[in-house]
Amino acid sequence: MNIIARIDEGKRIIDRQRPLPAAVLNRLRENIVIDWTYNSNAIEGNTLSIKETRLVLQEGLTIGRKSLIEHLEAINHRDAIDFVEDLAETDEPLGERTIREIHAIVLKEIDPKYAGRYRDIQVRIAGSTHTPPDPLHISRLMEKFAGQYLSKAHDHPIARAALAHFSLVDIHPFVDGNGRTARLLMNLILLQEGYFPAVILKNDRRKYYDALEKAHRGKVDDFIILIARAMERTMYLYFEAIPGLVSSFLTLAEAAEESPYSKEYLNVLARRGTIAAFKLKRNWLVSREALQQYVSRMQKQ
């Protein structure tokens, strides 16, 4: 997939800038944690705004007319991100216990009976045609899931993380909190592999659920692409936050002046993924190195 190749190229560009300044990393993490927590909870129906989420997490404030559960969902999700980030820094292998620990944090003080425990009842997914498996099969399915998706030797990390997310939701091993746990597990896999967290936006909720429905029917490509696009958005936050990085790229108009190709032709190459390019605020940008490599390759043909 072209988008995965584009992300890999962007990751290489960012990795060349490491170690990043502490101030840049702290600012990025702060914004990503708020963004990730707000959107993941909002997808599930939490009504805290992103501003209110920030106040709850950073100032410890209580928001009037908002329920205790909504406050706990924000705090628990932030704590689950802390757990995931800490775990990603270790070599500890992932397993079923990891998933249950993440879930236990997500539902801490919200559902003491089922926090960190597989369900023992049948459930239905609102708005979905998919029927999760009988609870009698969950232990066997989760053991198989762990062996298939929590090993590093499986597909490209982005595809593996996306498929782990989908497969966990497909099994739906918990009474509640499956979506948030699946998104946290997905990002744990991505962080372990040196990538960036994929934050699915509340505004993309319909696309997200539609892609999941297709995946339930065996068509997983749309879901993998949706996750890749969510991660690409986070990658662009890194681009914008690293001092001088964006200014080192060429716009397509500038690239046209330095190459035998028109801006329109370069735009086609960028959209197809033929040349490594990145879209920031509706504008495609290309590195001089990538442009020169493409020109050189064409001249040899």
Helix residue ranges per DSSP H, the chain = 2-15, 22-43, 50-54, 68-88, 96-106, 138-149, 157-171, 178-192, 205-216, 221-241, 252-257, 263-272, 288-299
Q: Are 236 and 14 in contact (CB under 8 A)?
A: no
Phi-psi region of 168 (alpha: psi -120 to 50; beta: other; left: phi over 0): alpha
**DSSP structural state of residue 18:** P
Determine whether 71 is an active site residue. no
Q: Which residues contact 215 (CB under 8 A, 6 or more apart)?
A: 166, 170, 222, 223
Q: Which of 71, 77, 165, 172 is catalytic?
A: 172
Tokens of 110: 């919200």
Tokens of 8: 């890999």
Catalytic residues: 172
